[in-house]
Amino acid sequence: MKNKFFVILFAIGNMLTIEAQEKKDNLTMNPFFQAYETPYNVPPFDKIKNEHFKPAILEGIKRHDVEINTIINAVEVPTFENTVLAMENAGELLSNANVVFSNLNSANTNKELQNIAKEIAPNLSAHRDDIYLNAKLFAKVKALWNQKETLNLNLEQAKILDNLYKDFVRSGANLSDSDKEILRKINGELSLISLKYGQNILAETNKYELVIDAQKDLAGLPQGLIDAAAADAKAKGKEGKWVFTLSNSSVMPFLQYSSNRELREQIWNAYQTRGNHDDELDNKANAVKLANLRGQKARLLGYQSHSDYVLEESMAKKPVNVNKLLNDLWKPALEIAKTEAADIQKMMVKEGIKGTVQPYDWRYYTEKIRKERFDLDEEELRPYFSLEHVRKGVFQVAEKLYGLQFKELNSVPKYHEDASVWEVTEANGTLVGILYMDFHPRDSKRGGAWMTSFRNQKTVDGKRQAPVIAIVCNFTKPSGETPALLTFDEVSTFFHEFGHSLHGLLSNVTYKSLAGTSVPRDFVELPSQIMENWAAEPEVLKMYAKHYKTGAVIPDALINKLKKAGTFDQGFATTEYLAASLLDLEYHSQTKDITVDANAFEKAAMTKIGLISSIIPRYRSTYFSHIFSGGYSSGYYSYIWSGVLDTDAFEAFKTTTLFNPEKAKLFRENILEKGGTEDPMVLYKRFRGAEPSIEPLLRKRGLDQKPETLKKVKG
């Protein structure tokens, strides 16, 4: 019996030894548990596997807990260094693993990653709550905040202390213990439902195909779009047919050019009813639940609504200020949109089409009117907008403004073969940062376009740590021997996202939490949107708009057509955008729970503002990922708020010289380099010399003219 007992003990000991060795091996083989031995210390994408994420994130949480507990239990008097700076620098493993995971889950996901996201979401939510609801830790931060005037802090130190204190308060640190538990539950639910909402949109987008097998049903479509649809069909095992999808680079040109009204209606309905089919991918309940939970959280924290909570930390400050801007723009935009709808109706009548203008008619007839009125067919422009030439143009603009140089890197790990990697340096060769660019749609990538970061810039021991930035888009793909030829809208998107990347790349701050795009939502779009202005300038067009076959520079006649059509269809574009912004605010300004379903809520909101039936909000409730899974809740208005800033800011160049070195230096030093170190309006006025005017935005969009005047100008 005694020998048997020792045999059992030996077996248990052996098992424990094996488990310990396996754990050690796993730690050794997991690239997140070691220093990145890669060029520029980018993530080792070539070594990272799906199974590495969960262990690294969970271990990262454990290690972060130890670091935070060390701060909490320190017997020394709290100082900036042992409390604020210690918190700033804690959690490196968790940050490294989670930033790669979250970025890949957006740009190159799969079922395994999506399942891991669901599994770890509660852990991450609970971990954050454990930090920001810890009374002992908050007491240390509050003690420092109360004496901040006597701590002799510099500007950035004062800012991160202020931000940290606000983070605690806005995260519920002042709540009672019972209310903290309620908040924990709300936060846990929010993290899971938001994740599910986004996954549903991706699944809905990927599962739909419009399969065409008759040549006649391709009438009106450009050859490039037809070739791309044939290539998609072949890739999906449907050779000899044509497949159109709900990717913007497929569905939008189909709606713009297809003369088959029934097929336009079919693909349009699939697009605008995503997440709205009463099945396992339905998002109606998710949208309402997210809005209600956010409202409950805001009220628990002492705010009237989620919008009041969010906007407190924005340039706008209050919902009333946002509503004023949106409503001031709404009336002129809607009036012009009605004029545009009347023009479409006349053309439909002329063609014998009965009934009123439908949303699936708008893009098709707008394109015909554009051609008739300005002799401009967007397909005329495409040959001049090859992705390669546009990229070179974007780089040239950055070089002329800021002296930046770009060199492609071929020996750096990439997360997907479609991505390219670029070293960005100053004119003197000093490293600025690393830029990943990933341009084309795929089933593993969510829709839209965005900029993100794999490593924020910071300064350590006086040495600037270069950031690792990425821009991710869903542009038209190459087809056969034809390169990727972009629409002008896609060109503008490229310039836009590249502007965001400059904000991340040129950051020059001390602390990573203040770096780059770590600014209020309604300020973050300034660096991106100002870049769009250069895209349409004749001087810049001649730099990059070159025919992909002949190399010929875009002719002046085509540039003039593009310029004359500059405010064309802006009633529609502004109205659909404002409708979505107002829908966002309607969801998040509620002071009590919404009790109707998302469709009814959306219909009432749009009826209230008088949206015409031929236009729907740019994003409907069931696929409005910006606000329900993308961090823009109560912030979708920021594009138009930043529009006021960017058009006013561009006037500084437009009224002097397009590449004015003095203005570029001011913009770089006061906007792009500063991140979130100071109040945005202070930074803006330091660049511009005054607060922005709304007049440049109204002129740019043609909203400064009455509809009848606008029509005369166009005619």
DSSP 241-270: SEEE-SSHHHHHHHHHH---HHHHHHHHHH
One-letter identity of residue 441: P
* Judgement on whether residues 313 and 361 belong to the same structural domain of the protein: yes
Verify that 484 and 617 share a domain, yes or no: no
**Stretch 605-634: mean pLDDT, rounded?**
97
Same domain? 464 vs 546: yes
Question: Which element (helix H / strand E) includes 205?
Answer: helix 177-207
Q: Are residues 332 and 464 in the same domain?
A: no
Residue 90 belongs to some domain of the structure: yes
Please report, for residues 368, 461, 617, the alpha-carbon distance to residue 342 in angstroms, rounded to integers and kept in the order given: 14, 64, 19
pLDDT band at 708 (very low <50, low <70, confident <90, very high): very low
Among 367, 497, 532, 586, the active-site one is 497
Domain at 485, CATH number? 1.10.1370.40
| SS3 of the chain: helix, strand, coil, percent, to 5 | 60, 5, 30
The b-or-e profile of 569-595 (16+ CB within 10 A means b, else e) is: bbbbbbbbbbbbbbbbbbbbbbeeebe
What integer is the mean pLDDT of 323-341?
Answer: 95
Q: At what angle do helices 319-350 and 638-654 cross, to 10 degrees?
A: 80
Q: What is the total count of domains within the chain?
A: 4
Name the residue type at position 619.
Answer: Y
**Same domain, yes or no, for 89 and 157?**
yes
Task: Please tell me whether residues 389 and 485 are part of one structural domain.
Answer: yes
pLDDT reported for residue 597: 97
Burial class (CB in 10 A: 0-12, 13-18, 19+), 49: exposed
CATH number at residue 45: 1.20.1050.40
Domain that holds residue 116: 30-174
pLDDT at 678 over 60: yes
Does the pLDDT at position 515 exceed 50? Answer: yes
> Where does the pLDDT of residue 390 fall: very low under 50, low under 70, confident under 90, or very high at 90 and above?
very high
**Backbone φ, ψ for residue 411 (5° rounding):** -115, 25
Cα 430 to Cα 22: distance, rounded to the nearest angstrom: 43
589 close to 305: Cβ distance less than 8 angstroms: yes
pTM: 0.94
In a domain, 78, yes or no: yes
Dist CA 587 CA 486 (whole Å): 35
Q: How far is CA 453 from the centre of its chain?
A: 12
Q: Is 633 within the bounds of a domain?
A: no
The single residue listed with the structure tokens 């090859």 is: 386
530 lies in the same domain as 449: yes
Give the pLDDT mean for 640-666. Answer: 97
Residue 109 has pLDDT above 90, yes or no: yes
With 70 as the cut, is the pLDDT of residue 562 above it?
A: yes
Q: What is the pLDDT of residue 632?
A: 96
- Tens of pLDDT, residue by residue over 483-511, are 999 999 999 999 999 999 999 999 999 99
8 A C-beta contact, residue 304 and residue 298: yes
Flag whether 22 is in a domain.
no
| Whether residues 645 and 615 fall in one domain | no
Any domain includes 120: yes
Can you read off the two tokens belonging to residue 164? 């940290």
Q: Mean pLDDT over all residues of the chain?
A: 94
In whole angstroms, what is the distance from residue 297 CA to residue 550 CA?
59
Report the percent of the chain where pLDDT is more than 70: 95
β-bridge mates for residue 423, sequence order = 407, 434
Give the percent of the chain with pLDDT over 90: 93
How far is the C-alpha of 611 from the C-alpha of 616, rounded, in Å? 8
547 contacts: CB under 8 Å, gap ≥ 6: 383, 384, 554
444 and 338 in one domain? Answer: no
Residue range 122-144, pLDDT digits in tens: 999 999 999 999 999 999 999 99
509: Cβ contacts below 8 Å, ≥ 6 apart: 156, 457, 458, 459, 515, 673, 674, 675, 677
Domain end (from 628, 647, 664): 628
Phi and psi torsions of 440, nearest 5°: -110, 150
Q: Is residue 710 assigned to a domain?
A: yes
Q: What tokens appear for 123 in the block? A: 């852990």
Residue range 455-466: mean pLDDT, rounded: 97
pLDDT of the residue at 4: 58
d(CA 123, CA 53): 13
Is the confidence at residue 202, as pLDDT, over 90? yes
| Rg for the chain, CA atoms, rounded | 27
| Domain-ending residue, one of 628, 651, 673 | 628
Categorize the per-residue pLDDT at 17 as very low, low, confident or very high, splitting at 50, 70 and 90: low
Where does a domain end: 159, 174, 189? Answer: 174
Alpha helix positions (H), 517-610: 521-524, 526-535, 538-544, 556-564, 570-588, 598-609
What is the rounded distance in angstroms from the CA atom of residue 643 to the CA atom of residue 326?
12
The residue written with tokens 């899974």 in the block is 629
Instruction: Using pLDDT thresholds of 50, 70 and 90, give the confidence band for residue 402.
Output: very high
* Pair (576, 672) in one structural domain: no
In a domain, 410, yes or no: yes
Interhelix angle 638-654/570-588, rounded to 10 degrees, is 140
Residue 19 CB-density burial (10 A; 0-12 exposed, 13-18 middle, 19+ buried):
exposed
Give 432-449 pLDDT, tens digit per residue. Answer: 999 999 999 999 999 999
- pLDDT value of position 703: 85
Judge whether 201 lies within some domain: no
Do 99 and 236 lie in a common domain? no
**Measuring CA to CA, which residue among 519, 458, 447 is closest to residue 95?**
458
HSE toward the beta carbon, residue 426, CA cutoff 13 A: 7
Report helix angle 488-505 to 526-535, nearest 10: 140
**Which stretches within 208-317 are classed as H helix?**
223-235, 248-257, 261-272, 284-300, 306-311
- At 19, the pLDDT band (50, 70, 90 cuts) reads low
When pLDDT is averaged across residues 317-332 and rounded to a whole number, the result is 95
Residues 434 and 558 in one domain: yes
Q: What is the arithmetic mean of pLDDT over 275-294? A: 98
pLDDT reported for residue 77:
96
In the annotation, is 92 catalytic? no
